Amino acid sequence: LSDRYTKTGVALEEPGLFPELERTGSTAAQVLPSGPEYRGQNQQELMVTWLCTARKRAVITTPYFVPDEIFVEAMTSAAHRGVEVHLVVSRHNNHRVTQLAEESFYEALLGAGVTIHRFRPRFLHAKSVTIDGAAAIIGSTNIDIRSFALNEEVSLLIYDPAVVSGLEAWHAGLFADCESPTAESWGARPWGRRLQQNLARLVDSLL
């Protein structure tokens, strides 16, 4: 409806489009949209805030990981203060340059103590965040500059330990099918691969 209004300048006032919903279940949830028409980067600001307030554990699952500097700092600072930070990505990305740019972030993350899980069986398109077993984000947002600043995205914020527990059980299943590089093994990668990653990083804002 927002897109339609932007194009036509006509607002729809039909009551049937927004029916009164009956309350069902007991889970507290909140819808968070984001996009270039908002004053801030809603999804990025929320995730950074949650990472900065995390105390025990944070798990981030995303098919594309080309974040801005603030997001990387939030992840590494959480790991430095003892939070168990996990990043789940695909081992085989469907965009070659994006994967190389993503890999350019691994050294800093691994050096800070972040655990990186690279899912091997197939391309993983899931997008979620869980924090401290208490709250979760599920939605359309990738962890990249395009999703944060350019694309119109929507996420569901869930405040229910039972739902988060289910997501964490799913994460555990993913971990079993992942490879997890160490700081030492990743630091020993060929210089040619390192050069490709750094060159891809130069165009991260376009990815």
φ, ψ dihedrals at 14, nearest 5°: -70, 120
Q: Which residues contact 114 (CB under 8 A, 6 or more apart)?
A: 75, 76, 79, 85, 86, 87
Are 163 and 131 contacting, i.e. CB atoms less than 8 angstroms apart?
A: no
Residue 113 three-state SS = coil
Sign of the CA dihedral 30, 174, 55, 147? Answer: negative
Q: Enter the pTM of the model.
A: 0.88
pLDDT of 202 reads: 86
pLDDT of 206 reads: 63
Tens of pLDDT, residue by residue over 160-189, are: 999 999 999 999 999 999 999 999 999 999
Are 132 and 57 contacting, i.e. CB atoms less than 8 angstroms apart?
A: yes
**One-character DSSP codes across 44-76:** HHHHHHHHHH-SSEEEEE-S-EE--HHHHHHHH
Position of tokens 């899912």?
119
The conformation of residue 164, written as its DSSP 8-state character, comes to H
φ, ψ dihedrals at 15, nearest 5°: -60, -30
Highest mean pLDDT out of 9-13, 52-56, 148-152, 192-196: 52-56
pLDDT at 207 over 60: no
- Distance between CA 89 and CA 65 in Å, rounded? 8
pLDDT at 203 over 80: no
